[in-house]
Every structure is written in C-alpha cells, then in structure tokens.
C-alpha cells in the first residue's frame, strides 16, 4: 500500500470515528482530497486508493491537471480557491463544483459560461464566519439575499455553504465558527425554502470539530498528500 493510500485510510478512519462520536452516520460526511500544488501522479495514487473527489485552489493548475487525467473515469473536480472574474470561464467549463462563490457577479458569470450540455455547476457560497477583513466570503447579514439570487440562476445548482475559520488552537472558538455556518444553512432552508445539502467545512487540523458541528464535506490535503513545499 502506498503512502497516499495509507494516509487516505487513516483519514477515513478519523472521519468515521468523529462521525460516530457525534451520533452521525459516517457515510454522511464526504472526503474532498485537496490536491493543490501536487502533481497529477499524486492524484492517480489517491484515485487508485478509491478517492474520487479532488479540490484545486489555482485555476490554471487545476485545468492542466484535469486535462492530464481525462483517462480516469469518475473524477469529480472541485474549485475551492478565491475566484476572480477573468477566471470564471475556465472554472465553468472544467469543474463540477465551486465552493468559493461570494459575489453575485461571479455566480452570474459562472452560469452564463457553463456549457448548456453539461450538468448544472454545483456551487457553495463562501461565508466569512470569522469576520476577518482579510478573509474572503459574504457576511452572514448579506448571505440570504445572495443565496436567493444565486438559487434562481440557470446552469447552477446551489448546494450549500463553505467556511474557513481563522487558524486557532481554541477548539471552542472553532466549534462556534462551524456551528455558525450550520445555523446559517438551517436558517436559509427555513426562511427561504432552499434545499441545501452541503456544509463544506473542516480541514486536516480541525475536521473532527467540523464533523461534530455538522460538516458534510471536509477538505483535506496535508493529511493525505503531506506537507506542501511552496518553494519548488
């Protein structure tokens, strides 16, 4: 068994344990392997170990990787990084999910640029759950209006919310951020009548806390592929 396969097995076991501790069906939480900065060969290793969903932060890197791996059936590509207007066409054409929509303009461009022959693009709205000025995401106050506007766009399917709390060793703080996102999702479903099945929250260091708070999709890179070397 390769190192990647062993790591995936360990991560899945951690997810299952966190789910059971929270009284949840472990199958209700999906694993998104974050492959940013890692070569296509690393994705192939994870694929061989049964992983199918992969997340990319950089548009061109992701598109190049997608093109290199077209021989692997069943791959699902998620764009999870900040998205600028001039890159929406590439994302709309090549990815199946976008987790980082935080402006109506971006959503409108993704909808307009999605090939009508492709299935609707699954989108999550990124919420700034920590209130940091430097952090991407719509504010909780602005979320309902954005959600209603995105939900009616053709060629998009609004699936849920995504959040990235500020890094912290304070478990209670992180749980409060995750619960805020879960509460916002519940409020949207109750007040706007939207059906939102996805809470994209939790990463390598805090996925257990996120699962306890209701995450349905954890974004894990380091625990699967190792520590990235951005200097290469």
Domain boundaries, the chain: 3-225
Separation CA 73–CA 162 (nearest Å):
27
Q: Is the pLDDT of residue 139 over 80?
A: yes
Separation CA 142–CA 150 (nearest Å):
13
Q: How confident is the model at residue 230 (pLDDT cuts 50, 70, 90)?
A: low
Task: Please give the average per-residue pLDDT across 171-177, as a whole number.
Answer: 96
**Residue 232 confidence (pLDDT):** 42
Separation CA 97–CA 77 (nearest Å):
6
Task: Please give the average per-residue pLDDT across 118-123, as a whole number.
Answer: 98
The pTM (predicted TM-score) of the whole model is 0.96
- Mean pLDDT of the chain, nearest integer: 95
- Using alpha carbons only, give the angle 70, 75, 76 rounded to the nearest 5 degrees: 125
Does domain 3-225 match CATH 3.40.50.300?
no
The encoded tokens of residue 97 equal 């999910």
**Residue 131 confidence (pLDDT):** 85
């Amino acid at each position: 068994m390769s190192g990647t396969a062993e790591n995936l097995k360990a991560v899945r076991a951690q997810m299952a344990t966190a789910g059971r501790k929270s009284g949840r069906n472990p199958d209700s939480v999906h694993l998104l392997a974050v492959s940013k900065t890692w070569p296509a060969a690393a994705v192939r290793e994870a694929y061989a170990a049964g992983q199918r969903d992969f997340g990319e932060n950089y548009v061109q890197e992701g598109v190049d990787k997608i093109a290199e791996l077209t021989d692997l059936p069943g791959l699902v590509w998620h764009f999870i990084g900040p998205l600028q207007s001039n890159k929406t066409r590439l994302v709309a054409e090549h990815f199946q999910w976008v987790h980082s929509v935080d402006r109506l303009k971006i959503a409108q461009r993704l909808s307009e640029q999605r090939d009508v022959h492709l299935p609707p693009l699954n989108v999550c709205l990124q919420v700034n759950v920590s209130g940091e000025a430097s952090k991407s995401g719509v504010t909780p106050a602005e979320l309902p209006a954005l959600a209603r506007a995105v939900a009616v766009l053709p060629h998009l399917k609004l699936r849920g919310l995504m959040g990235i709390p500020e890094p912290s060793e304070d478990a209670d703080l992180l749980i409060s951020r995750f619960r805020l996102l879960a509460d916002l999702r519940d409020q949207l479903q109750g007040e706007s009548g939207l059906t939102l099945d996805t809470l994209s929250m939790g990463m390598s260091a805090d996925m257990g806390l996120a699962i306890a708070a209701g995450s349905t999709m954890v974004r894990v890179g380091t625990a699967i592929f190792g520590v990235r070397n951005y200097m290469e």
